[in-house]
Amino acid sequence: MGVLTVSTGTITRQFGTFACELQLSSNNITTASTTMKLTNMPKLTQDFEMQDELNDLSELRVNLSEISLSIFDTLGNGSTLFSYINSMTLLDTIQVKVTVNSGVDFFISKKESCNYDWFSRKVTFKAQPALKYDVEVTDYENTNLPDYVSNEDFVAPGDVIKAFLESQGSNPTVKIKGHFFTHDIDDITGVPVDPAPRYMIFEETYVDTYAKAQDITLGFCLIEGAIIGSMLGYSFYVRRNFAGTDSDDFQTINASNLKSFGVEFNKRSIRNFNTSFFIQDNLGTGTQTDIGVNDDEVLDSQGTQDIDILYRIDNMNTIEYSSGWQLQNGGTSVLTTSNMQTITDNAKAGYKAALGLSSSYSVKFEIFGIDTLKPYQYILFGSSIHETVNGKKVRPSYIEYDLENDIIKGEGYIIG
């Protein structure tokens, strides 16, 4: 297969440096390298908007980050970008590598998303992360936890999510915030203090491929009400209503940071909000136990819309220490119905906020400087702006990094 590599080189703008590289892969292309020119700086966006029904992992991949590119058709070698794209098949891919300052993101596009404008002599297209197309950008490496007795390998759920997020780009900065299973491999190594704790884990066989780790990570997103994405060199998993107080969790935005803001009153009319979240624990000797909570709630008997979110994560295990870490054979799960109620309550609170059920309005904003707010952070508005936003915590439901104008545009819902 031939690969055409087309790059801009490094461009210096008001926010710092930018570079873009395309790799067009096809049997109909002869391997070559050349340069290209952008008609303007691109926009990076992500829509975290809530879906009304979620019981299929593929639905979660609708709300992924996206880059919009506009490129002059004539390339540095005198050929046209259109001619190369035209020679590709519908199964061939265009890999887009974007570097904003030191943050690297990878996106995938295909022939059908490309458009050519003869009058302006330009090609435009949009690309989304590799997750959208089940493409593995970098090698997924599952983390092994050696068992000191039976030589089985165990993997903590936090490590599965981290390893999956790391596979979304080139050494991304990983952020996992609000995840229930906070333990990782470092918590379960060595000889614990007495009494020994128990943990929920996966056997390596259930997480040993990229596809399996993808399903597990998306499954956790669903039952925890989390968002997932990769933008500006960050790869993140954040619960929708997470309002942590660590300085990395949020960014304070004052009047001097705002180009503009406004509010919009919410319009949803929800009748029933039903969730069913379960986690399966394999307790040994062929026993499988489902720990979970069905939570059906009538919000407005006169409402016109129902929300149904149903999912179960399979093949987890309780691990315990007895001369060494080993799978618990029988007994009770370390996970309780109370734990699942906590997970459900947090998830529903996040979903309600995202749906506009926790506040009567949402906030639209424009912020100066693309480095002012990171894509995984929430906004803490200052106290001297306007009564509608003063002191409010707002989680973006849509965010756009406009590199041409060095502005962040977005809208969000109130989480505190």
Work out the end-to-end distance of the chain between its first and last CA atoms, rounded to an integer number of angstroms.
Answer: 52
Burial class (CB in 10 A: 0-12, 13-18, 19+), 26: buried
Q: What is the pLDDT along the chain (416 residues), one digit of tens a residue?
A: 899 999 999 999 999 999 999 999 999 999 999 999 999 999 999 988 765 555 556 555 556 788 999 999 999 999 999 999 999 999 999 999 999 998 999 999 999 989 999 999 999 999 988 787 777 888 887 766 666 655 568 899 999 999 999 988 888 999 999 999 988 888 887 777 878 889 999 988 899 999 999 999 999 999 999 999 899 999 999 999 999 999 999 999 999 999 999 999 977 788 888 999 999 999 876 688 999 999 999 988 888 888 888 899 999 999 988 878 888 888 889 999 999 999 999 999 998 888 888 888 899 999 999 999 999 999 999 998 999 999 999 999 999 999 999 999 999 999 99
Distance CA 416, CA 413 (A): 9
179 and 185 Cβ atoms separated by less than 8 Å: no
Tokens read off for 299: 């919000």
399 and 45 Cβ atoms separated by less than 8 Å: yes
Distance CA 83, CA 86 (A): 5
Contacts of 176 (CB under 8 A, 6+ apart): 158, 161, 162, 165, 236, 237, 238
Cβ neighbours of 35 (radius 10 Å): 12
Tokens read off for 63: 């709300």
Lookup result for tokens 């029933």:
272
∠ CA 159-161-165, nearest 5°, is: 115
Global pTM?
Answer: 0.91
| Helix ranges (DSSP H) in 51-167 | 57-60, 81-87, 157-166
